[in-house]
Chain A
């Protein structure tokens, strides 16, 4: 790994200043995406700004119909936290499917949502449940937040502080995991919300997407049978793990499993 300047600010303002003053800078939370990228020299920041010293970024609160999770909350905490499991069990179950126990002890929800890997899990939950990404500069509604592969509405150096999820009537996530990387070959999050059924798919294409045909079918009948036979279309990935056609069908299978788990 190339050397860099390490900063560990204790306020958000100091983190912003450290990011602005250090050449090419990167924010680090759990580091379980960034450090592997730095080891392979895909990322070579001049300055690394560690958010671990900034207080108040890992609180979990329920406020009305919203569940708020601090950006620095680890996957292990989301999976086990009683406020999360009581409000959105599907979200806690999703967290338990990320990586492995050691990864879940370090990786954070804010890190995942800032990175927006096209095969990551949390983007599917946030897009299906609906909600808000709060930052040091304001807030982003989820419907404009994800902007394709590794792209989000965040500006350079903008820091996620907490993430709000709308608490659904019912929801669940079904994921076909790549057995080595643990990322989603295809993952489908289904939510029965006050605004109707929302379905989001990760892993299948260049970024997380809603699936309107599935939402329509499940609004008519929220049953696994209604999901049967649905095939995801659009721009899907073909790689050594699965063809686009396979992923399209797999999305239908994961959809049916998610509905069965949520219903």
Chain B
């Protein structure tokens, strides 16, 4: 069925079968493999993308449900070779080790900025990360990175989604 989506700023009609999950359209249909599949049971957050600006688990939504919506994936954040401030903060603060959970963590960070603004304390970040699992870092540097990324976004005037 034809489904119109704006993905990372580009609007197009996609012919998807009703049972196609958003994450499968992104990865298999469009080659946007930065959105990861971790648990596939709505728990780990590796597949987080922004749907109309709101963090959403792409493994738990059908592409067809989102007809007309705007989707931002990790590929949509950088400007050319310049990382988005939230991405740059993960690099700067060593907020990743194997990197598998990182795209979902970055999206969770953007969701926090959307709802809580740019001044995020540690308790807020830790609490808001309840839907994202990381098996390498122990979360400390992720928390630091998100708080720093949020501040950096205020300085650059960066928006949370494409």
Contacts and interface: CB of A to CB of B under 8 A. Distances in A.
A102 interface: yes
Nearest to B41: A36
Interface residues of A, number: 28
Interface stretch (B59-67, B79-87, B95-103): B59-67
B42 A5 contact: no
Contact of A102 (B56, B64, B115): B56
A2 B62 CA distance: 13
A1 interface: yes
A48 B18 contact: yes
B41 A100 contact: no
B10 interface: no
A36 B60 contact: yes
B55 interface: yes
B141 to A, nearest CB: 20
B60 A5 contact: no
A181 B133 CA distance: 12
Interface residues of B, number: 29
Contact of A101 (B42, B55, B60): B55
B15 to A, nearest CB: 13
A99 B131 contact: yes
A168 to B, nearest CB: 27
A39 B40 contact: yes
Contacts of A180: 43
Interface string A3-44: 111101000000000000000000010011001100100000
B113 interface: no
Nearest to B58: A102
Contacts of B57: 102-103, 106
B123 interface: no
B130 A4 contact: no
Nearest to A74: B54
Interface string B29-72: 00000000000111101001001001111001110110100000
A76 B22 CA distance: 21
Contacts of B48: 102
A215 interface: no
B128 interface: yes
A50 B65 contact: yes
Contacts of B43: 180-181
A106 B56 contact: yes
Contacts of A2: 19
B61 A101 contact: no
A105 interface: yes
Contacts of A99: 42, 131
A52 interface: yes
B61 A31 contact: yes
Contact of B55 (A28, A32, A52, A102): A102
A106 B60 contact: yes
Nearest to A36: B42
B4 to A, nearest CB: 13
25 contacts: A1-B21, A6-B18, A6-B64, A8-B67, A28-B65, A32-B42, A35-B21, A35-B62, A36-B42, A39-B40, A39-B41, A50-B65, A100-B130, A101-B55, A101-B128, A102-B45, A102-B56, A102-B57, A102-B111, A102-B131, A103-B60, A105-B111, A106-B57, A180-B43, A182-B130
Interface of A: 1-6, 8, 28, 31-32, 35-36, 39, 48, 50, 52, 76, 80, 99-103, 105-106, 180-182
Given A6-B18, A101-B55, 4 more contacts: A8-B64, A36-B60, A101-B130, A102-B48
